[in-house]
């Protein structure tokens, strides 16, 4: 990898009943629980305008990822041929960013209850964005 | 911001006819051009499995962003009240990640022609993911 690097800071962390990576579903829509996203009070004013019921994109940092992997068996299924990580959602990838579309269920100061989300307890959150209504933006 | 930080490395860069931030549309669907995404040859095998016609999510690093901004006028329109950056798609935000849903138009070795995309020439790309078909994942 080139030497250039960019620094991300945690905006906050996920508090979830999912404690281990091997108990997390592959995607939020596959039976994941709701979780609390607690942001650092110093940046909580950046949440102004988000209301319960909104759909948002949470970008996480998969802190337990292996970053030196370029090919995986999708969904960990060895019957599926090895595929480039950029053609998969594997958390193991050079820059282990996770993308989660969730609904905001409740807001309590600097905490958002969101779900469903497959990120495990303690996962850092590095960005939050609104879902845009135009179809060109749907993920 | 807390001292913890995570390092992102550029996977590659956008080559676009858009040279300046003030000529870029706000979103790809608002008249943005196509562009070439050239990845570092050392990680090009991570693209295996992506084919022309695929829809992918490109995550960029808005290298010209201001990172100390928590509230903005959405779309730069001062008639819209100041709003928390996490309720907007402003490139000015603590961790300036950009999310772009694009179509892969052509593949030439370690280069993907994608579009439409509003990222300017020279924008670093930090992740590439497939669009998932299930609705729970749509952005």
Contact A5 B8 (CB under 8 A): yes
Judge whether residue A122 has pLDDT over 60: yes
β B6-8/B55-61 pair status: unpaired
C-beta separation of B115 from B101 below 8 A: no
Contacts of A83 in chain B (CB under 8 A): 48-49
Q: What is the pLDDT of residue A26?
A: 85
- From A125, which residue of chain B is nearest by alpha-carbon distance? B95
Report the largest interatomic distance among the alpha carbons of chain A, rounded to a whole angstrom: 48
Nearest to B48 among A27, A59, A84 (CB): A84
Burial class (CB in 10 A: 0-12, 13-18, 19+), A87: buried
pLDDT digits (tens, 9 = 90+) for A34-58: 999 999 999 999 999 999 999 999 9
Q: How many CB atoms lie within 10 A of CB A47?
A: 26
Contact (Cβ atoms closer than 8 angstroms) between residue A40 and residue A126? no
Q: Which of B4, B46, B134 sits opposite A86 (nearest CB)?
A: B46
pLDDT at position B137, please? 45
Sole residue written with tokens 């590659």: B12
Each residue's pLDDT tens digit, B10-38: 999 999 999 998 888 888 888 899 999 99
CB contact under 8 A, A6 and B11: no
pLDDT, tens only, A84-114: 999 999 999 999 999 999 999 999 999 999 9
Chain A positions touching B73 (Cβ under 8 A) are none
ipTM of the complex: 0.92
Query: From the CA of B123, how many Å to the nearest CA of chain A?
Result: 12
Chain B CB contacts of A54 below 8 Å: 87
The C-alpha of A132 sits at a distance from chain B's nearest C-alpha, in angstroms, of 7
Residues of B in contact with A31 (CB under 8 A): none
Inter-residue contact B74 to B86 (CB < 8 Å): no
Closest residue in A to B5 (Cα) is A9
- pLDDT for the residue numbered B134: 52
| Averaged confidence pLDDT in chain A | 92
* Residue B2 confidence class, pLDDT cut points 50, 70, 90: low
Residue B9: which of A2, A63, A128 has the nearest Cβ?
A2
**Is B1 in Cβ contact with A43 (below 8 Å)?**
yes
B57: nearest CA partner in chain A: A139
Residue A56 DSSP SS3: strand
A29 to B136: CB separation less than 8 angstroms, yes or no:
yes
pLDDT at B8: 97
Angstrom distances, CA of residue B107 to CA of B53, B74, B78, B94: 10, 35, 41, 33
Contacts of B2 in chain A (CB under 8 A): 9-10, 40
pLDDT band at A71 (very low <50, low <70, confident <90, very high): very high
Q: Do B71 and A27 touch (CB under 8 A)?
A: no
Closest CB to B84: pick one of A49, A97, A99: A49
Closest residue, chain B, to A9 (C-alpha)? B5
């Amino acid at each position: 990898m080139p030497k250039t690097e960019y620094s991300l800071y945690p905006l906050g962390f996920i508090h979830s009943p999912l404690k281990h990576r091997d108990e997390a579903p592959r995607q939020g829509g596959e039976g994941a629980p709701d979780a609390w996203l607690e942001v650092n009070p110093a940046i909580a004013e950046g949440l102004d305008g988000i209301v319960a019921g909104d759909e948002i994109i949470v970008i996480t940092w998969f802190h337990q990822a292996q970053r030196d992997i370029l090919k995986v068996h999708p969904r960990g299924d060895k019957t599926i041929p090895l595929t480039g990580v950029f053609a998969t959602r594997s958390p193991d990838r050079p820059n282990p960013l996770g993308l989660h579309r969730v609904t905001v269920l409740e807001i309590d100061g600097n905490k958002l209850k969101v779900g469903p989300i497959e990120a495990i307890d303690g996962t850092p959150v590095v960005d939050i964005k609104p879902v845009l209504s135009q179809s060109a933006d749907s993920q």
